[in-house]
Amino acid sequence: METFNKETSRIASGTRFKGDFATRSDLRIDGVFEGKLYCSGRLVVGENGVVKGTVIGNVIEFSGTMDGGSFFVKDTLSLKSGSVVEGDIFTRRFQVDLGARFVGTSKILEEEKYVKAAAPFESLLPSEAAPAAAEQIQEAPVAAQEQEEPVAESAPVAEPAPAPAAPKEEKAEVDSMAESWLGWNKKRSQ
pLDDT of residue 1: 43
- Distance between CA atoms of residues 1 and 82, nearest Å: 18
- Cα 52 off chain centre by: 12
At 118-165, the pLDDT tens digits run 888 887 787 765 444 444 444 444 444 444 444 445 445 455 555 455
- Distance between CA atoms of residues 89 and 77, nearest Å: 9
Structural contact between residues 106 and 91, judged by C-beta atoms closer than 8 angstroms: yes
Task: Identify the top-confidence range among 73-82, 111-120, 159-168, 176-185.
Answer: 73-82
- Mean pLDDT, residues 6-34: 93
- Distance between CA atoms of residues 40 and 58, nearest Å: 5
**Phi, then psi, of 124 in degrees rounded to 5:** -80, -25
More confident residue, 33 or 132: 33
Task: Identify the top-confidence range among 53-62, 135-144, 173-182.
Answer: 53-62
Which residues have CB under 8 Å from 5's CB, separation 6+?
A: 25, 26, 41, 42
Instruction: Tell me the β-bridge partners of 54.
Output: 36, 70
Structural contact between residues 85 and 102, judged by C-beta atoms closer than 8 angstroms: yes
Helix (H, G, I), strand (E, B) or coil at 61: strand
- Distance between CA atoms of residues 141 and 152, nearest Å: 14
Share in percent of the chain as helix, strand, coil (round to 5): 25, 40, 30
- Cα 115 off chain centre by: 19
- Distance between CA atoms of residues 165 and 115, nearest Å: 40
- Distance between CA atoms of residues 16 and 86, nearest Å: 20
- Distance between CA atoms of residues 132 and 142, nearest Å: 16
- Cα 9 off chain centre by: 7
**Phi, then psi, of 73 in degrees rounded to 5:** -120, 120
